[in-house]
Amino acid sequence: MMLREYCPKMSMQECLEMIAAWDTLEYEGKYFEMFAVLADGEVVGSVSLYDHGEDTIGPGPEIWQSARQKGYAYAAMTQALAHARAKGFTKAEGMVRIDNTASIRLHEKLGYICKETVVNRKGNTVHLFEKLL
C-alpha cells in the first residue's frame, strides 16, 4: 500500500505531518503509538495504542478490507497488547459497535469481557470491552 492510499482525504503534507506526530509517542498529552500491520512485506493495516488513563490502554486495530479474515488483526492485537503490557499497562479496553460481529469475535478471542452496552458520543450503540493484561 502506498502512503497516498493510506491518507486519501489528506494532502501529502498533512499525511507526513500526521506520521511525524506519531513519532512523538504522544497525542493530546497522552501516550500514543501506531504500528503498521505487515503481511509478506506489504502493509495490510494498522494498530494503535492510546492511553486511557491510570494503567489502561485502548488498542485500535484496522485491517484493510482486502486483507480481512486472515488472522492479521488477531496477530497484531496480540503483539500490541504484549507491547502495552511491557510498557506497564495492566488493562485494555475498547468500544465495538454492536453490528461489528468480526470485531466482537476478535475481542472475545483475545479474552476481552463485555462490561456493558452504551450509546457513544457519535450516537452508535457499542459494547464496552475490557481485558486484564
Judge contact between 81 and 110, C-beta under 8 A: yes
Name the amino acid, one letter, at 49.
L
Domains and CATH numbers, the chain: 29-132 (3.40.630.30)
User: Phi/psi of residue 12, each to 5°?
Assistant: -60, -40
User: For 60-105, how does the pLDDT look when each residue is reduced to its tens digit (9 = 90+)?
Assistant: 999 989 899 999 999 999 999 999 999 999 999 999 999 999 999 9
User: For 20-47, how does the pLDDT look when each residue is reduced to its tens digit (9 = 90+)?
Assistant: 776 777 777 788 898 889 899 888 888 9
Judge contact between 118 and 125, C-beta under 8 A: yes
Judge contact between 71 and 111, C-beta under 8 A: no
Residues 64 and 67: their CA atoms lie apart, in Å, by 5
